[in-house]
Structure 1
Amino acid sequence: MYVQALTDTLQKYQFTTSTFNFPKPFENTPKVLLSVQSYYSDIQIKQRYKLSIETVTLTSVTVKVESLGTKLYELNIGILAVDYPQSDVFTQILSSDTEGQLTSIHKVANKIQSYVTFFTSFQGSSCEYLKFNLDSQQLDDYTIKVSANSFKCIGTIYYNILIIHYDNNFPYAPFYQYQNQIFQDQINSENLVSTNLNSPDTGFYGIKDMSIGSWYSFGIFFYPQNQNQPIQNGKYVFHTDKKKYIIYQAYSQVFDLIQLECPRDYYLYKQSCIISPYNGIYCLNNPKVCYDCDSTCLTCQDSATNCLKCVSPLYLYQNKCSSSIQQGTYCDENHICLACNQSCSTCINNANLCTSCINGYYFYNNICTKDQPNQTYCKQSLSQQYQKCFSCDMKCKKCSGPFYNQCSECLNNYYFYKNSCYIDQPEQTTCQNYKCQPCFNLCQTCSGVNQNQCLSCINNYSLNSNTNQCEISTCQDGYFPDKNLNSCLLCQLGCRKCSSFSVCLECASIKDNQGITQTYILDTQHQQCYLKCPNGKYFDLQTRQCTSCNKSCLTCDGKTSQNCLSCIDGAYINSNRMCECQNKNQGFASDFSKCISCQIKNCSKCFYSNTCDSCSEFALFNTQKNECTCMNGYFFSNSIQKCTKCIKNNCQTCLSDGLTCTKCQSGFLMTKYSTCVYCNNYQYSSDGKNCDLKCPNGCQVCANGKKCIQYSRDNPGGIPNQFCHNSCSSCSGLTKFDCLNCSSSTRIYNQTTRKCECISGYFESNLKDCSQIQQQALEMFSFQKKQLEQVNLSFQVVKWEKNPLNKSKLTSSNIIPGSTDNK
């Protein structure tokens, strides 16, 4: 509607309020937007006023106009009241001391469908030219930018903005904004401003911005001819007076409001009018508008998600649709669900037919209770925190489980004993008020629980009438009565009847572990029962069974090898009561059935044929190999069946021929002929394979690092002179006659024999100097010399046999033979 905000001139710094009634009452408090239709003021005074809304009701709106320094002659306004849920109205101020551009951003939560902006008032200075531009722009679906510029004589602008939000029920509602530009050259006293609205006209219009001037007063005017329908045939009226007012430029705008209203008793649904709602929509009565239900609802009421029936196969519970049955509900064949009894966690068919309980409750016969039902026992549910209960035995008033007959209390007139209920009093009990306790264990009946409260006794016991106690009287076979312990004790094994543990009266027949019946024989003299054991066994007094002898015994009286009573053929019992073979070189066979020769070679005595107690002469027992082996330097001769010394010298071990060495003594070298010899390179052998260790200083032949066999001939200081023959000033070799230099000029060195011999005319004195002979004795000397050479030759042969070192080979070989085989 369009109204006059001022009925009289508003003086400087005054204000006035006016209340305007709506054409008809609203059902909800509307949102109100204001626009300026005409403005007329005194040019001599500052252009400052403020237009605002005081109150809004269902029937009216109160508007306030306040002068902030100007004199107002006329102010006509447009009032747009909107009762539309998807809309908002904002009021804002743009202010600046400069004439630059001002900007305000409006960001909303819901998607924008349409909007319109109108200025309501402004503040400026006294001037002849008044100008401003107000523009708005939608930046995106949720943001609107409002800006003002081109200020002249104005510093502050008040505006309000109406935003229509997008509604799924009205996706094509044709809200739109229409602007028209008016120039002064085209304006007469009255001018019809055209719009693009179609009849009937429902638009709302007002001044958007302006540029006006005057010598006396400012004026710009829109005068609606019909207040109820100011826009007719798409046009509204603009009026001015060229003589009084100058309109340089002005913008008006129209905001179109579609007709969202149906005939009485009809509902508006997506720009259509329907008589009543149907599946998939719901309708409101104030206003009478219908909307789509949620996609899961077949029918709904009051809101899109308040379902009355669901799309198949969904389930309806508390006006919500879901794909599965909700916890704590049950559903009918139409998938409409109701809540279970509050004690049920789950139920079926009806609210009280529980299938499980909430925490802390007891489940029994499809009912959940806070307390445990009578005549039940309960177990914790494996998956949830509730007790699952089961029926007790029919005689139990209460039971504790885990079995149905494990009672904790009985029904009336039933006897309670050891967690069970009985019709009759249990045997060997004493009862009071149907609660029973056991008699003393020897009482058959009793008057109390003590042993002196017996009325009758169990088997084998008799009642002592003086003490009311049961005393042992008889026992079953295999037991005897013990008065001290007042019980039957076990007889010794083998006794069928006895007067005490070890005094047998009759013997028994008992099966052994193999199921063979063994009959015990009574020794009447000792009153003991014994078994007659076969060869190889004896009667063990501890176990009362036949136990195996040591395998070396044919018969025995104990389990060790020193308990023999007889032996097999070929064996005898020695002084230690042990069986051993009569022949010393024989031992027991593995099954102890006979004596056979010792199986280990070189063994002279054995107890078992496969072991050895002592070896033959020159043999030692090797425990790791379990055999007798010949000592170093000996071999086993098959012909004489004993260890014999190796024939070759220096052998540590040799083959059975006695000639072939298999290992040399320490320091000797093994030749390719399997003989053991010295090294002749001032070294000896560490392993019998190589000459690798050094002899003592000056020693050419040795077997170890301490003792020299032959000193070097090339070393004058090799052999101490005191050991040389008198004919030598120095010597080196196997004998003291192996000279290196002669001791006297009466001697001459023989390169062949390496001896210092007497020169011609002298004879051997065995001293340093040879003795001179007379001329007449020369012939005799020559004869004796020949005799002596023969004797020396004979001596050399003897020396070769005693010392097998061949001097003739010392300079041509690194090996000194070590036996007479190398002569």
Structure 2
Amino acid sequence: MIYVQVAQKELLLQIIYVLHVWKDVYNVIIKLLVIICDQGYYKNNLNECKPCNINCKACQNDTPDICTSCNSPKVLQTKNQKCVDACDDNQYQDNTQIDIPKCRDCDILCLKCVDANSCQLCVNGNFFNTNTLKCEPCDAQCNTCENGTDNTKCLSCSPPLYYQQLEKKCVRNCNQGQYPNSQSGLCEFCDPNCQTCRDSKTSCLTCNNNQYLQTNQTCKDICLPNQYPDNARKCQPCNASCLSCINNTSCSTCADGNYLNSVTKLCSPCSANCQYLNTNTNRCEQCNANCVACENGPTNDQCTECQLNNFLTQDRKCVIACQQNQYVDALRTCQQCNASCLTCQNAISCNTCNAGYYINTRSNLCEKCDDNCQTCENGIVNNQCITCNNNQVLLQTKICADNCDNKQFEDQNKNCQQCDPTCLTCSNSNTCDTCEEGSYLKRSTQKCELCDLNCKTCIEKGKCVSCKQNFFLTQDQQCKLECDQSFFPDSQGNCQPCDSNCLNCKQFNQCTECFQGLYLFNGFCSNEIYCQENTYLDQN
């Protein structure tokens, strides 16, 4: 066989070809050549060099992913001939071959090691023996144990054993003053007051320091008021009737509603028939006559239930009727109305309100009226006044104002009332003070009646004071389209007398026509004839 590098093979073949060596010789040489690939390459089945996996420094022929060495900083994993970043937890890095660091398995009992002879962490149930530098089995009682030379120094235990930390042993029963913690698997110390305990540090079985075991398994200096200590220094419950006791058959004090029976030494309730316990005398006595039942105490009037037709107040009295701002609930007890109510039906619904308030019909509670209202109507707004503040009057629109509207008068209650329809102003509904234009006040009836048709104003029927447009007031207080003969209309629409000689005139001294026998000249009437030059007397 002839071994050559790839580059040498090409050169040799070229030389043979140039020398025109025989073809048969050429083929024989080709078969005898064995190709050696460069580092990082492998030879395939066609005798060609191909690159290895990118992590491989070198790899096996025909298998680019089976590494024989790795590119730094990769390490060769001996399990599968792969190049990896780091070895597995139960392996160490073997640097014996400096150019080819390899991952090798720790001892079978070792979970983590530095090299083949230095274990850092052993499998549970084993410890690292510092003499032999090997992982060896712990004592059978230990789940785990300390590294060293002694396999009996436990660190944890398997059930049903518990770990005794001080002695580093696994035991079935913890020392006095300790209890087995089933969750941690440790023997843990009881509360300092417990002599012995179970399940938890405060779940005492017996107590230290002359203390007493309570019913909740704690240790205290004394028992609760309704308990007594037995001979084993355990607190036991008193008889149900006792507030405190000497033992379970002898009460010291009684619960509310009971008295101490001097014969039985137990507590008994007073009769339900109108009796209560007088706390001053410790005797059962009769309740107040209005009570069906009453509270125990120094007096007999603290009722809890009332006789028929009586109601129970908040201060435990029985009354015939509740106060104005209270209502009766289903238990016949007087309850306070909402603060806004004067009287109410229940806690959320007013019947009447205090002055200046009204019932809002949406909420059924009392709300403040408008500031001008002294009182106002129930509804959804606060300005529908019934009476007014500040000496104001109530308009018919339920609004308060300083004065009534036109055609209204103020009554004795300061309400504005409508005048008679004929009045302009009035003092009451039957008496007009002034009238509208076109009407006059008839004194006999104090009513307004219509003037004549053409009158604008008048003092009575047929006596006009002024006239409508295009009419004139005559001397006899009539309104006409024209003034009477010998009268003329002045600028005020009143008929004024002409000059005594005028039959008709435009103004007092401007005659337009004269009485018979008189002659008109320059607006004057005279019995003398005064014709100017170039004029003549018209006899017609």
Specify the TM-score bucket, using the shorter chain as the normaliser: 0.3 to 0.5
Structure with larger RCO (C-alpha < 8 A, sep 6+): 1
TM-score, scaled to structure 2: 0.33
TM-score, scaled to structure 1: 0.23
